[in-house]
Amino acid sequence: MAKMVKCLVCGAVFEEGAEVCPVCGVGPENFEPVEVEESGFSKDTDEKFVILGGGPAAKAAAEAIRERNKEAVVTIITMEDELPYNRPMLTKALLADHSGDALAIEAADWYEKNRIFMMKGARAIAIDTDAKSVALELADGSHGATVYDKLIYALGAYCFVAPIKGSELEHVMTVRNISDTVRIREIVKDRDAKNVVCIGGGVMGLEGASTMRDEGFNVTVLETSPFLLPRQLDNEASTMLRELAESKGVNTITNAKIKEITGDAVLLEDGTSCPAELVLMSTGMRPYTQLAEEAGIAVDRWVSVDDHMRTSAGSVYAAGDCCAVDGQPQAFWAQAEATGRVAGANAAGDDVAYEKIGSALVMHAFGTAVFALGTNGKSQDGSSDPKYRLESSKDDKAGNYAARYYDEDKLVGGILVGDLSAMPELTKSIEF
Ligand SMILES: Cc1cc2nc3c(=O)[nH]c(=O)nc-3n(C[C@H](O)[C@H](O)[C@H](O)COP(=O)(O)OP(=O)(O)OC[C@H]3O[C@@H](n4cnc5c(N)ncnc54)[C@H](O)[C@@H]3O)c2cc1C
């Protein structure tokens, strides 16, 4: 087996030799060799394992099953026309051509070698847990069905579209799938776009804004709260990031009250008009739970699973962005892979408990890098929480900021802007 390393920042596990982490983009100084434990469990059966969804959770589940069962039929069903791919790259390379499996986690021959059947362009439309079957809508519009002995529900999440007047217009896009980036490239070309408005000052909105600015567009970011990345950064770091964005020519408007999106602008309630031939909306994700709910599987905003990734329905497991483990959502790449591995292992008859993993924010944008893990020292309402003690340093000239938040003597949060050299140490020492 190839030697594997783990990214200490985002938790992704991948083959040794990569120049950057394929998920969060940090360099090899943040990689640590890991022993990928062989489970030792083996049970060859002629069971049918059906995995719904074609993301990292699905791929990891399929791999975990095949490691334990050499005979079973393993099928991944995805409505995308792609092999499971590196989704985080989409906002980092928004206008790139991602065709030809350029972002695929594994090439097609990996699936062939492992006898994992990829059913692309097929949408699951209903699950019958009594009959153990899944109804499908195929790429050509026809309908079909498949039966399973064990089902893994790994449908991921979709972008929430804020209910703003005009959000249904064709030049208003969200970014979740490769097909979204294809459409964005078409819009840019067809509309000879020069102006882009990014609604939402979270990670994906800012990554998208930075990428589009680097491509030469006039970019405006609209954020409804008073600060960029308000949930991850403290006010000092947010302000610094905003200044850096502005210095790169990105217009940032916080406390934005959006009135309407028109064919060529986004209008604010104070009368400001932000020109836009393309609008990128990054206003949050929602888990795909509808199919589970309709099948009578327990859902509490996310598909509910225990630490073995078991849902409330017998023989049905769930993993990735769509699920919450003991009530806690798992919305990062490394968590999708880890929950997928656990779901696959247990579906195959093994007994593996999920050990929760945290995941850090790492963002490269506006010529700087940002890291945040744990608390940002704020309470729910966004004000600074006196419970936390802050130790911070700032070097305006170098564009560096470092903050450590303590709860009594326990390090519970860290934020870095610019110089990320303390990242591995922070990742190891922050306690949750
Ligand atoms: C632009 C972007 C940037 C990101 N950046 C980062 C980052 O820097 N770091 C990080 O840790 N995470 C990042 N993430 C989050 C990360 O990509 C997700 O946590 C991860 O992809 C979740 O994996 P998953 O397998 O649960 O779901 P997904 O990757 O969403 O895969 C689910 C698949 O199921 C398919 N599907 C849905 N419904 C059906 C159906 N009815 N029938 C058939 N197929 C269906 C979907 O089309 C999709 O292909 C980013 C996400 C996006 C969108």
The pLDDT assigned to 90 comes to: 93
Q: Which residue minimizes the CA distance to atom 27 of ligand 1?
A: 156
Looking at the 3D structure of the chain, how many domains does it have?
4
What is the distance of C-alpha 228 from the center of its chain?
19
Say if residue 143 is in the same domain as residue 291. Answer: yes
The pLDDT assigned to 382 comes to: 87
- Closest atom of ligand 1 to CA, residue 123: 42
Query: Which structure tokens are listed for 122?
Result: 């097929």
Q: Which residue minimizes the CA distance to atom 49 of ligand 1?
A: 54
Ligand 1 pocket member 343 (CB < 6 A): no
Residue 198 inside a domain? The answer is yes
Ligand 1 pocket member 157 (CB < 6 A): yes
Specify burial of residue 34 (Cβ count, 10 A radius: 0-12, 13-18, 19+): middle
- Closest atom of ligand 1 to CA, residue 291: 41
The pLDDT assigned to 286 comes to: 97
The pLDDT assigned to 29 comes to: 85
The pLDDT assigned to 6 comes to: 85
CB atoms near residue 182 (< 10 Å): 12
CB contact at 8 A, 79 and 56: no
- Closest atom of ligand 1 to CA, residue 322: 26
Q: Which residues pair with 320 in a beta bridge?
A: none
CB contact at 8 A, 353 and 308: yes
**Quick check: helix, strand or coil at residue 190?**
helix
Residue 405 inside a domain? The answer is yes
Task: Give 272 Cα–ligand 1 centroid separation in angstroms.
Answer: 35
CATH of the domain at 225: 3.50.50.60
The pLDDT assigned to 239 comes to: 96
CB contact at 8 A, 125 and 136: yes
The pLDDT assigned to 10 comes to: 78
Ligand 1 pocket member 77 (CB < 6 A): yes
The pLDDT assigned to 1 comes to: 62
Residue 142 inside a domain? The answer is yes
Ligand 1 pocket member 103 (CB < 6 A): no
Boundaries of domain holding 216:
172-281
Say if residue 55 is in the same domain as residue 143. Answer: yes
Q: Which residues of the chain have pLDDT under 70?
A: 1
pLDDT digits (tens, 9 = 90+) for 84-143: 999 999 998 999 999 888 899 999 999 999 999 999 999 999 999 999 999 999 989 999
Residue 352 inside a domain? The answer is no
Say if residue 82 is in the same domain as residue 141. Answer: yes
Residue 165 inside a domain? The answer is no
Ligand 1 pocket member 124 (CB < 6 A): yes
Average pLDDT, the chain: 94
Ligand 1 pocket member 304 (CB < 6 A): no
Task: Give 158 Cα–ligand 1 centroid separation in angstroms.
Answer: 8
The pLDDT assigned to 339 comes to: 97
The pLDDT assigned to 7 comes to: 85
- Closest atom of ligand 1 to CA, residue 176: 53
Say if residue 25 is in the same domain as residue 45. Answer: no
Say if residue 185 is in the same domain as residue 233. Answer: yes
Residue 170, phi then psi, degrees to nearest 5: -65, -25
pLDDT digits (tens, 9 = 90+) for 289-329: 999 999 999 999 999 999 999 999 999 999 999 999 999 99
